[in-house]
Structure 1
Amino acid sequence: MTAHPRIAILTSHGQPSAPPPPEIHLAAVAAAVQDHLPGWEVRSATLSSKGFLEAAMPEDGAVIYPFFMARGWFTGKVLPKRLAGWRYRMATPFGLDPALPALTVTALQDAIATRGWDVTDTDVLLAAHGSARGPKAAEAAETFAATLRPSLPGLRLTTGFVEQAPFVDAAARPLGPRSLCLPFFAQSGAHVRHDIPEALAQAEFKGDLLPVLGALPGVPALIAQAICRAETAELSASPAKTDTELP
C-alpha cells in the first residue's frame, strides 16, 4: 500500500490588487522546498487569492508554514480565522526562524567582501515593514538586528520602516556610499519593488539595495527544516465559523 504524503502549505500575504504574480512566486518557493522534503507534498497559497488556502487544505493534520517576518496581524489573527474548522500544525514564521540570522550574516559578509569593503567601514540599513496595527512587526525587525550585530563586530546596522518611524528615507539619509540596504521581507512585493527604492531615492541613498531575505540561497532548506520541526508540535484546532462569520 502506498503511503499518503504528509502535507505542508506555504502561505504569505500576497497582493490583493494583483494576486497572480505573488501566487506564482510562492509556488516556485514551495517547489524548491519540495526538493528537501521527500515523502511530503508541499503546496502554496497566498491569503490574497480568495479560496486558495481553503482549497489547499487537506482534511486533517497539515503543517502550515507562514512565509511572514513576524507573528503579527496576519499570522496571529487573519490566518487562524481562515483556518477555522481545520486541525493543523503551525510552523515558526520565516522571520523568526533561529537559523535565519546565520544565513543573513553570511550573505552580508559576501556582499561586503565582493565590493572590497571592510565590515568596520560599512553601514547596513535593515528596511522592514513596520505596522500601525501593533508593535510585533517592528519588534521582530529590531530583535533580528540585535541578533546580527554580535556576529558582525564593527558593522553599523540600523533599522528603518515603511509604515512607521523611523521611516526608511530618514534612516537612509545620513548613510554614506559604503552602505547596503537589506529588505527584511520574505518576498519582493510592492513595498520592496516600489516603496523602498522610492524612499532610498528621496534620501539620495548612494549605497546598494540587496535582495530580500526570502531570496537567500539557503532559504528552501531552512523552510524544510522548520516544517519538519513543526510536525512534532500539537495539532491546533480552530473552531468552525459561525453563521455570522461566514463570508
Structure 2
Amino acid sequence: MSARPRIAILTSHGQPSAPPPPEIHLAAVAAAVQDHLPGWDVRSATLSSKGFLEAAMREDGAVIYPFFMARGWFTGKVLPGRLSGWRYRMATPFGLDPALPDLTVAAIRAELARRGWQPEASEILLAAHGSARGPKAAEAAEAFAAKLRPALPGLRLVTGFVEQPPFIAEAARDCGPQTLCLPFFAQSGAHVRHDIPEALAEAGFQGDLLPVLGALPDVPRLIANAIERAQGDEMSPVDID
C-alpha cells in the first residue's frame, strides 16, 4: 500500500471584490510547488473565497503556507481564526523566508546587468503595502530592505508604502531615471496593478516597475523548502473554547 501523501496548503488574502483570478493564480503557484514536493498533496485556497480554506483542510496535520509578506493581522489573527478546531503546522510567511533576500539580490543584479546599469548609478524603490492596523507589515519591508543593502553596495535603496508614510509617491519623487521599483508583494493584486503605478505616475517616476517578488523564477522551490522545514515543527493545539 502506498504511503498517504502529506498535505500542504498555500493560502493568500485574495481579492474579495473578485475572488476567482487570485484563486486561479494561487493554484498555479501550488502546482509549481507540487513539482518540488513528490509525495505531497499541495493545495491552495485564498481567504477571500468563502469556504475554500476549510474545504482544502479536510483533515488534521496539514502544513499551512502563508503566501503573505509579513506575520501581521491576516497571518496572526484571521488565518488562525479560520483554522480553529484543526491541528496544523504553520510555515514561515513568504516575505520572512531567510532565503528570499539572496534570491532577490541575484534577480536585481541580473536585471542591472541586462540593462547595462552600474549599481552605484542605480536605485531600488521597494514598494510595500504597509498597514493602518499595526507595524508588522512595514517592519517586514524595512527588515528586508536592511538585508538587501549590504549585498548591493553603492546602490541606493528606499522604501515606500501604499497605506502609510512614507507613501510610494513621496519616496519616488527623489528617484532618478535609473531606478527599478520592486513591489514587496507575493501576488499582483489591485495594489500592484493600480495603486503602485498611480503613485509612480503622480511622482513623475521615470524608472521601471518590476514584477512582484512572488513571480521570481525560484519561488516555487523556496516555498517547497519552507514547507519541508515546517513539517518538523509541532502542530498547533486544538482550540477548544
Deviation at 1:8, TM superposition (A): 0.0
Give the corresponding residue for 2:158: 158
Q: In the alignment, which residue of structure 2 is the partner of 1:245?
A: none
Residue 50 (1) aligns with residue 50 (2): yes
Distance in 1 between the 2:198 and 2:237 partners? 42
For the residue of structure 2 that corresponds to 1:164, the secondary structure is coil
The offset of 1:59, in angstroms, is 1.5
Q: Which whole-Å deviations, capped at 9, do the CAs of 1:18-72 have from their partners, x for residues lacking one?
A: 0000000000000000000000000000000000000000311000000000000
What is the CA distance between 1:79 and its match in structure 2?
Answer: 0.2
Q: Is the 8 A contact 1:7 1:58 kept in 2?
A: no
Post-superposition offset of 1:237: 2.3
- Within a 5 Å distance, the mapping from 1:45-194 to structure 2 comes to 45-194=45-194
What's the RMSD between the two structures over aligned residues?
A: 0.7
Which AA in structure 1 matches 2:28? A
For residues 72 and 94 of structure 1, the distance between their equivalents in structure 2, rounded to whole angstroms, comes to 12
TM-score, normalised with respect to structure 1: 0.97
**Whole-Å separation in 2 of the counterparts to 1:233 and 1:239:** 18
User: Following the alignment from structure 2 to structure 1, what is the Cα–Cα distance between the partners of residues 160 and 175?
Assistant: 12
Aligned to 2:207: 207
In structure 1, distance between residues paired with 2:216 and 2:12: 17
Give the equivalent residue in structure 2 for 1:222.
222
TM-superposed CA distance for 1:3, in Å, is: 1.2
> Hey, what's the Cα distance between the residues in 1 that align with 2:11 and 2:3?
25
CA–CA separation in structure 2 for the residues paired with 1:237 and 1:147: 34
Identity %: 80
Gaps of 5+ in 1: 243-247
Alignment coverage as a number of residue pairs: 241
Q: CA separation in 2, counterparts of 1:175 and 1:158?
A: 9
Deviation, structure 1 residue 229: 0.1
Give ranges in structure 2 of 5+ residues lacking alignment. Answer: none
Cα distance in 2, alignment partners of residues 59 and 135 from structure 1: 34
Letter of the 1:137 partner, please give it: A
After the TM superposition, list the runs of 4 or more consecutive aligned residues in structure 1 that deviate by more than 6 angstroms: none
